[in-house]
Amino acid sequence: NAGVTQTPKFRVLKTGQSMTLLCAQDMNHEYMYWYRQDPGMGLRLIHYSVGEGTTAKGEVPDGYNVSRLKKQNFLLGLESAAPSQTSVYFCASSYDGYGYTFGSGTRLTVV
């Protein structure tokens, strides 16, 4: 049982480039989330999904887009990366919206 898998684990982007972060879960969870973690800021919610085909904005959605075409996958896209998006990104899933299972993170640097 893999749980929540994030790919890639590390990435360096140049300003203005685009990329997609993939999150996959094998627990048949309805709820999925994308957070970013910055020093001293804790975890901040970017976007979330309460089921296949649905997405919603979180606390810091600007500059990001998401899609949930399949229940097990939640994609986070950066259309035009900026240095302010340098962060560690965590995906999480949940059966009932309470207890979360997190992935191990993607470390993104935008230069």
- Considering only residues 24 to 63 of the shown chain, the ones binding another protein according to CB under 8 A are 31, 33, 35, 40-45, 48, 50, 56, 58-59
Smaller CB separation from another protein, 76 or 92? 92
Candidate residues 36, 94, 108, 110; the one interacting with another protein per rule CB under 8 A: 94
DSSP-assigned states of every residue in the chain: ---EEEE-SEEEE-TT--EEEEEEESS--SEEEEEEEETTTEEEEEEEESSTT--EE-SS-TT-EEE-SSTTEEEEEESS--GGG-EEEEEEEESSSSS-EE---EEEEE-
What are the residues binding another protein (CB under 8 A)?
A: 4, 31, 33, 35, 40-45, 48, 50, 56, 58-59, 90, 92, 94, 96-105
